[in-house]
Protein backbone atom coordinates (compact mmCIF):
# COMPACT_ATOMS: atom_id res chain seq x y z
CA UNK A 1 0.00 0.00 0.00
CA UNK A 2 1.65 3.18 -1.22
CA UNK A 3 1.25 6.39 0.78
CA UNK A 4 1.67 9.89 -0.61
CA UNK A 5 4.06 12.09 1.31
CA UNK A 6 4.11 15.34 -0.65
CA UNK A 7 5.56 14.37 -4.02
CA UNK A 8 7.22 11.28 -2.59
CA UNK A 9 5.57 7.86 -2.57
CA UNK A 10 6.28 5.78 0.53
CA UNK A 11 6.15 2.06 -0.26
CA UNK A 12 4.70 0.68 2.94
CA UNK A 13 5.10 -2.99 2.03
CA UNK A 14 8.86 -2.56 1.44
CA UNK A 15 9.17 -4.32 -1.94
CA UNK A 16 12.36 -6.31 -2.19
CA UNK A 17 15.07 -6.43 -4.85
CA UNK A 18 15.17 -10.22 -5.13
CA UNK A 19 18.14 -10.20 -7.46
CA UNK A 20 20.19 -7.86 -9.60
CA UNK A 21 22.79 -8.20 -12.31
CA UNK A 22 25.26 -5.99 -14.14
CA UNK A 23 27.15 -6.68 -17.37
CA UNK A 24 29.74 -4.28 -18.77
CA UNK A 25 32.29 -3.76 -21.53
CA UNK A 26 36.07 -3.93 -21.49
CA UNK A 27 36.84 -0.39 -20.34
CA UNK A 28 34.32 -0.59 -17.48
CA UNK A 29 35.79 -3.97 -16.57
CA UNK A 30 39.19 -2.33 -16.17
CA UNK A 31 37.82 0.24 -13.71
CA UNK A 32 37.69 0.18 -9.89
CA UNK A 33 34.47 -1.89 -9.77
CA UNK A 34 35.78 -4.71 -11.98
CA UNK A 35 35.28 -7.45 -9.38
CA UNK A 36 31.65 -6.45 -8.82
CA UNK A 37 30.15 -7.20 -12.25
CA UNK A 38 28.47 -10.43 -13.33
CA UNK A 39 30.18 -10.39 -16.72
CA UNK A 40 32.73 -8.30 -18.61
CA UNK A 41 32.79 -8.36 -22.42
CA UNK A 42 36.18 -7.73 -23.99
CA UNK A 43 34.56 -7.76 -27.43
CA UNK A 44 32.38 -4.65 -27.76
CA UNK A 45 30.20 -6.38 -30.36
CA UNK A 46 29.22 -9.25 -28.00
CA UNK A 47 29.44 -11.36 -31.14
CA UNK A 48 26.66 -9.40 -32.82
CA UNK A 49 26.89 -7.79 -36.25
CA UNK A 50 26.17 -4.21 -35.16
CA UNK A 51 26.64 -2.14 -32.00
CA UNK A 52 22.90 -1.57 -31.76
CA UNK A 53 22.35 -5.33 -31.76
CA UNK A 54 25.09 -5.59 -29.13
CA UNK A 55 23.23 -3.07 -27.00
CA UNK A 56 20.00 -5.07 -27.29
CA UNK A 57 21.99 -8.15 -26.40
CA UNK A 58 23.23 -6.44 -23.23
CA UNK A 59 19.63 -5.93 -22.10
CA UNK A 60 18.69 -9.49 -22.97
CA UNK A 61 21.70 -10.96 -21.18
CA UNK A 62 21.43 -8.84 -18.07
CA UNK A 63 17.76 -9.69 -17.56
CA UNK A 64 18.52 -13.36 -18.17
CA UNK A 65 21.28 -13.20 -15.56
CA UNK A 66 19.09 -11.44 -12.99
CA UNK A 67 16.33 -14.02 -13.50
CA UNK A 68 18.87 -16.82 -13.08
CA UNK A 69 20.15 -15.29 -9.83
CA UNK A 70 16.56 -14.96 -8.55
CA UNK A 71 15.85 -18.55 -9.54
CA UNK A 72 12.79 -17.41 -11.47
CA UNK A 73 11.65 -18.25 -15.00
CA UNK A 74 10.71 -15.24 -17.14
CA UNK A 75 7.09 -16.39 -17.02
CA UNK A 76 7.05 -15.30 -13.37
CA UNK A 77 7.76 -11.68 -14.31
CA UNK A 78 4.52 -9.78 -14.76
CA UNK A 79 5.90 -6.49 -16.05
CA UNK A 80 9.19 -5.37 -17.53
CA UNK A 81 9.94 -1.64 -17.30
CA UNK A 82 12.71 -0.61 -19.63
CA UNK A 83 14.07 2.06 -21.92
CA UNK A 84 17.32 3.32 -23.35
CA UNK A 85 19.04 6.07 -25.32
CA UNK A 86 18.77 4.69 -28.84
CA UNK A 87 16.26 6.30 -31.17
CA UNK A 88 12.84 4.73 -30.49
CA UNK A 89 14.41 2.74 -27.61
CA UNK A 90 15.33 -0.22 -29.81
CA UNK A 91 17.86 -1.43 -27.25
CA UNK A 92 14.93 -2.36 -25.02
CA UNK A 93 12.31 -3.39 -27.54
CA UNK A 94 14.61 -5.74 -29.48
CA UNK A 95 16.50 -6.92 -26.41
CA UNK A 96 13.43 -7.81 -24.39
CA UNK A 97 10.94 -8.98 -27.03
CA UNK A 98 11.46 -12.68 -26.30
CA UNK A 99 10.67 -12.68 -22.58
CA UNK A 100 6.88 -12.65 -22.95
CA UNK A 101 6.25 -10.32 -20.00
CA UNK A 102 3.96 -7.32 -20.23
CA UNK A 103 6.13 -4.48 -21.48
CA UNK A 104 5.96 -0.89 -20.28
CA UNK A 105 8.37 1.16 -22.36
CA UNK A 106 9.88 4.17 -20.62
CA UNK A 107 11.90 7.13 -21.79
CA UNK A 108 13.99 8.83 -19.15
CA UNK A 109 17.39 8.98 -20.90
CA UNK A 110 20.09 8.31 -18.26
CA UNK A 111 17.48 8.42 -15.47
CA UNK A 112 15.96 5.18 -16.76
CA UNK A 113 17.36 2.87 -14.07
CA UNK A 114 15.70 4.93 -11.33
CA UNK A 115 12.50 5.43 -13.34
CA UNK A 116 12.14 1.74 -14.12
CA UNK A 117 13.07 0.59 -10.61
CA UNK A 118 10.66 3.11 -9.06
CA UNK A 119 7.88 1.86 -11.31
CA UNK A 120 8.66 -1.82 -10.66
CA UNK A 121 8.66 -1.25 -6.89
CA UNK A 122 5.43 0.75 -7.07
CA UNK A 123 3.62 -1.93 -9.08
CA UNK A 124 4.68 -4.58 -6.54
CA UNK A 125 3.83 -2.38 -3.55
CA UNK A 126 0.31 -1.66 -4.82
CA UNK A 127 -0.19 -5.41 -5.55
CA UNK A 128 -0.76 -4.63 -9.21
CA UNK A 129 2.06 -7.08 -9.88
CA UNK A 130 3.77 -9.87 -8.05
CA UNK A 131 7.18 -9.63 -9.72
CA UNK A 132 8.58 -6.94 -12.00
CA UNK A 133 11.86 -6.31 -13.76
CA UNK A 134 13.62 -2.99 -14.28
CA UNK A 135 16.18 -3.00 -17.07
CA UNK A 136 18.35 -0.61 -19.04
CA UNK A 137 21.62 -0.45 -20.95
CA UNK A 138 23.83 1.79 -23.03
CA UNK A 139 26.72 1.21 -25.41
CA UNK A 140 29.61 3.60 -26.07
CA UNK A 141 29.82 2.85 -29.79
CA UNK A 142 26.12 3.12 -30.63
CA UNK A 143 25.79 6.30 -28.55
CA UNK A 144 28.82 7.95 -30.14
CA UNK A 145 27.61 7.40 -33.65
CA UNK A 146 24.03 8.33 -32.90
CA UNK A 147 24.70 11.43 -30.80
CA UNK A 148 28.17 12.61 -31.76
CA UNK A 149 30.59 11.50 -34.47
CA UNK A 150 31.45 8.31 -36.32
CA UNK A 151 33.97 6.46 -34.13
CA UNK A 152 36.37 6.28 -37.09
CA UNK A 153 36.55 10.09 -37.09
CA UNK A 154 38.50 10.01 -33.82
CA UNK A 155 37.22 13.41 -32.69
CA UNK A 156 38.75 15.09 -29.64
CA UNK A 157 36.35 15.26 -26.70
CA UNK A 158 35.94 18.37 -24.52
CA UNK A 159 37.10 18.30 -20.86
CA UNK A 160 33.46 18.49 -19.69
CA UNK A 161 32.38 15.58 -21.91
CA UNK A 162 31.40 12.28 -20.30
CA UNK A 163 32.06 8.78 -21.60
CA UNK A 164 29.00 6.67 -22.40
CA UNK A 165 29.28 3.43 -20.48
CA UNK A 166 28.96 0.12 -22.28
CA UNK A 167 26.92 -1.68 -19.69
CA UNK A 168 23.56 -2.87 -18.48
CA UNK A 169 21.76 -3.40 -15.21
CA UNK A 170 18.61 -5.26 -14.18
CA UNK A 171 16.70 -5.67 -10.93
CA UNK A 172 14.00 -8.22 -10.16
CA UNK A 173 11.53 -6.76 -7.66
CA UNK A 174 9.17 -8.93 -5.62
CA UNK A 175 6.93 -8.55 -2.58
CA UNK A 176 9.45 -9.72 0.01
CA UNK A 177 12.64 -11.65 0.47
CA UNK A 178 16.17 -10.52 -0.12
CA UNK A 179 17.79 -7.17 0.55
CA UNK A 180 17.86 -4.36 -0.38
CA UNK A 181 14.31 -3.13 -0.07
CA UNK A 182 12.73 -0.08 -1.68
CA UNK A 183 11.31 2.28 0.93
CA UNK A 184 10.23 5.24 -1.17
CA UNK A 185 10.38 6.76 -4.63
CA UNK A 186 10.15 10.33 -5.94
CA UNK A 187 9.54 10.99 -9.61
CA UNK A 188 11.14 14.24 -10.72
CA UNK A 189 9.96 17.35 -12.50
CA UNK A 190 11.56 18.62 -15.72
CA UNK A 191 14.18 21.26 -14.90
CA UNK A 192 15.86 23.52 -17.44
CA UNK A 193 18.28 26.25 -16.41
CA UNK A 194 19.16 27.10 -20.01
CA UNK A 195 22.40 25.12 -20.45
CA UNK A 196 22.92 24.59 -24.19
CA UNK A 197 26.26 22.76 -24.31
CA UNK A 198 25.59 19.15 -25.27
CA UNK A 199 29.16 18.35 -24.21
CA UNK A 200 28.37 19.39 -20.66
CA UNK A 201 25.42 17.25 -19.67
CA UNK A 202 26.49 17.08 -16.03
CA UNK A 203 25.82 20.79 -15.68
CA UNK A 204 22.48 20.44 -17.47
CA UNK A 205 21.37 17.61 -15.17
CA UNK A 206 22.58 18.93 -11.79
CA UNK A 207 19.51 21.20 -11.29
CA UNK A 208 17.21 18.20 -11.73
CA UNK A 209 19.16 16.15 -9.18
CA UNK A 210 19.05 19.07 -6.74
CA UNK A 211 15.30 19.61 -7.23
CA UNK A 212 14.38 15.96 -6.69
CA UNK A 213 16.68 15.55 -3.67
CA UNK A 214 15.37 18.71 -2.00
CA UNK A 215 11.80 17.57 -2.69
CA UNK A 216 12.47 14.17 -1.10
CA UNK A 217 14.22 15.63 1.96
CA UNK A 218 11.34 18.07 2.50
CA UNK A 219 8.68 15.40 1.99
CA UNK A 220 10.33 13.02 4.46
CA UNK A 221 11.64 15.66 6.91
CA UNK A 222 15.09 14.11 6.71
CA UNK A 223 18.55 15.47 5.97
CA UNK A 224 21.48 14.08 3.94
CA UNK A 225 23.06 12.88 7.22
CA UNK A 226 20.25 10.35 7.58
CA UNK A 227 21.63 8.40 4.61
CA UNK A 228 24.93 6.57 4.22
CA UNK A 229 25.18 7.50 0.59
CA UNK A 230 23.50 9.93 -1.76
CA UNK A 231 24.28 8.46 -5.13
CA UNK A 232 23.68 10.44 -8.28
CA UNK A 233 24.07 9.06 -11.76
CA UNK A 234 25.54 10.42 -13.91
CA UNK A 235 26.61 13.96 -13.19
CA UNK A 236 30.31 13.34 -13.58
CA UNK A 237 32.79 15.79 -12.05
CA UNK A 238 31.33 19.02 -13.40
CA UNK A 239 27.75 18.15 -12.53
CA UNK A 240 28.65 16.81 -9.08
CA UNK A 241 30.43 20.04 -8.18
CA UNK A 242 27.48 22.05 -9.44
CA UNK A 243 25.01 19.90 -7.47
CA UNK A 244 26.90 20.68 -4.26
CA UNK A 245 26.86 24.39 -5.10
CA UNK A 246 23.14 24.35 -5.82
CA UNK A 247 22.42 22.58 -2.52
CA UNK A 248 24.69 24.92 -0.53
CA UNK A 249 22.53 27.80 -1.76
CA UNK A 250 19.69 26.05 0.06
CA UNK A 251 21.99 25.53 3.09
CA UNK A 252 22.22 21.79 2.51
CA UNK A 253 25.65 20.21 2.83
CA UNK A 254 26.29 16.95 0.99
CA UNK A 255 29.17 15.15 2.69
CA UNK A 256 28.15 11.61 1.81
CA UNK A 257 27.69 12.04 -1.93
CA UNK A 258 29.10 10.03 -4.79
CA UNK A 259 28.25 9.79 -8.45
CA UNK A 260 28.05 6.63 -10.56
CA UNK A 261 29.86 8.46 -13.36
CA UNK A 262 32.82 9.06 -11.03
CA UNK A 263 32.85 5.55 -9.57
CA UNK A 264 32.88 3.38 -12.67
CA UNK A 265 36.18 4.65 -14.14
CA UNK A 266 39.55 5.30 -12.49
CA UNK A 267 40.19 9.07 -12.56
CA UNK A 268 43.97 8.57 -12.80
CA UNK A 269 44.40 5.46 -14.96
CA UNK A 270 41.38 6.17 -17.19
CA UNK A 271 41.80 9.92 -17.69
CA UNK A 272 40.45 9.75 -21.25
CA UNK A 273 36.91 9.51 -19.93
CA UNK A 274 37.28 13.21 -19.08
CA UNK A 275 34.46 14.27 -16.71
CA UNK A 276 33.29 10.71 -15.95
CA UNK A 277 30.92 8.03 -17.16
CA UNK A 278 27.38 8.52 -18.46
CA UNK A 279 24.64 6.67 -20.32
CA UNK A 280 21.71 4.62 -19.02
CA UNK A 281 24.08 1.72 -18.39
CA UNK A 282 26.38 3.71 -16.09
CA UNK A 283 24.12 4.16 -13.07
CA UNK A 284 22.44 0.84 -13.89
CA UNK A 285 25.65 -1.18 -13.76
CA UNK A 286 26.97 0.59 -10.65
CA UNK A 287 23.66 0.19 -8.79
CA UNK A 288 23.11 -3.42 -9.84
CA UNK A 289 26.57 -4.52 -8.65
CA UNK A 290 28.63 -2.65 -6.05
CA UNK A 291 25.78 -0.64 -4.46
CA UNK A 292 23.30 -3.52 -4.14
CA UNK A 293 26.15 -5.78 -2.93
CA UNK A 294 26.95 -3.34 -0.13
CA UNK A 295 23.29 -2.90 0.78
CA UNK A 296 22.92 -6.66 0.89
CA UNK A 297 25.97 -7.18 3.14
CA UNK A 298 24.86 -4.32 5.37
CA UNK A 299 27.93 -2.12 4.88
CA UNK A 300 25.54 0.45 3.42
CA UNK A 301 22.23 0.89 5.24
CA UNK A 302 20.33 3.69 3.51
CA UNK A 303 21.05 4.90 0.01
CA UNK A 304 19.29 7.55 -2.06
CA UNK A 305 19.75 6.58 -5.69
CA UNK A 306 19.08 9.61 -7.90
CA UNK A 307 19.51 8.89 -11.61
CA UNK A 308 19.48 11.93 -13.88
CA UNK A 309 18.51 12.18 -17.53
CA UNK A 310 19.27 14.87 -20.10
CA UNK A 311 16.15 15.07 -22.26
CA UNK A 312 17.72 16.37 -25.47
CA UNK A 313 18.27 14.99 -28.95
CA UNK A 314 20.70 15.92 -31.70
CA UNK A 315 17.80 17.68 -33.44
CA UNK A 316 16.97 19.84 -30.42
CA UNK A 317 20.64 20.79 -30.06
CA UNK A 318 20.95 21.62 -33.77
CA UNK A 319 17.85 23.82 -33.41
CA UNK A 320 19.54 25.80 -30.64
CA UNK A 321 17.41 24.52 -27.78
CA UNK A 322 18.61 24.24 -24.19
CA UNK A 323 18.77 20.89 -22.35
CA UNK A 324 15.82 19.98 -20.10
CA UNK A 325 16.57 17.29 -17.56
CA UNK A 326 14.84 15.09 -15.02
CA UNK A 327 15.95 13.08 -11.98
CA UNK A 328 14.08 10.26 -10.30
CA UNK A 329 14.91 9.07 -6.77
CA UNK A 330 14.73 5.62 -5.17
CA UNK A 331 15.35 5.16 -1.44
CA UNK A 332 17.04 1.78 -0.94
CA UNK A 333 17.61 0.28 2.47
CA UNK A 334 19.20 -2.76 4.06
CA UNK A 335 16.64 -2.89 6.88
CA UNK A 336 12.90 -2.62 7.22
- Residue 5 within binding range of its own copies, rule CB under 8 A: no
Q: How far is the CB of 40 from its own copies (least distance, A)?
A: 25
Among 28, 38, 115, 259, binds its own copies (CB under 8 A): 115
- Residue 228 sits at φ, ψ, to 5 deg, of -75, -30
**Cα 46 off chain centre by:** 22
Element (H, E) at 82: strand 79-83
User: Which DSSP string corresponds to 122-182?
Assistant: HHHHTTS-S-EEEEEEE-HHHHHHHHS--GGG-PPPPTT--EE--EEEEEEEESSSSSPEE
- Residue 126 within binding range of its own copies, rule CB under 8 A: yes
- Residue 254 within binding range of its own copies, rule CB under 8 A: no
Among 36, 59, 101, 308, binds its own copies (CB under 8 A): 101
Among 5, 39, 76, 94, binds its own copies (CB under 8 A): 94
60-97 in b/e form (b: 16+ CB < 10 A) is bbbbbbbbebbebeeeebbbbbbbbbbeebebbbbbbe
Among 4, 249, 251, 336, binds its own copies (CB under 8 A): 4
Among 35, 75, 127, 223, binds its own copies (CB under 8 A): 127
**CB neighbours of residue 289 within 10 Å:** 24
| Residues paired with 330 in a beta bridge | 185, 305
Enumerate residues 34-93 that contact its own copies by CB under 8 A. 49-50, 52-53, 78-79, 83, 85-90, 92-93
Nearer to its own copies, 221 or 319 (CB): 319
The site that binds its own copies (CB under 8 A) totals a number of residues, namely: 56
Q: Is 3 helix (H, G, I), strand (E, B) or coil?
A: strand
Element (H, E) at 306: strand 302-310
Element (H, E) at 29: helix 26-29
- Residue 238 within binding range of its own copies, rule CB under 8 A: no
- Residue 150 within binding range of its own copies, rule CB under 8 A: no
Burial of 49 (0-12, 13-18, 19+ CB in 10 A): exposed
Question: What would the x/- binding string for its own copies be over residues 184 to 223, using CB under 8 A?
Answer: ---xxxx-x-------------------------------
- Residue 155 within binding range of its own copies, rule CB under 8 A: no
By CB under 8 A, name the binding residues for its own copies. Answer: 2, 4, 7, 9, 49-50, 52-53, 78-79, 83, 85-90, 92-94, 96-97, 100-109, 115, 119, 122, 126-129, 146, 187-190, 192, 309, 311-316, 319, 321, 324, 326
Amino acid sequence: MATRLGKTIQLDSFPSILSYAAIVGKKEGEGPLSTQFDAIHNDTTLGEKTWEKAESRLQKDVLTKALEKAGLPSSNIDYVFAGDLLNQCIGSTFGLREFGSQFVGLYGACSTMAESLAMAALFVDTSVASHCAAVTASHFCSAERQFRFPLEYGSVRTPTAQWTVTGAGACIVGPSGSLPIVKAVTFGTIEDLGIKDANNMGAAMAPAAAATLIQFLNDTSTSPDDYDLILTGDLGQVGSDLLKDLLLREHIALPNHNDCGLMIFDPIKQKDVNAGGSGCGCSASVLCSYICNRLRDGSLKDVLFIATGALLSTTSTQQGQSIPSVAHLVHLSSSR
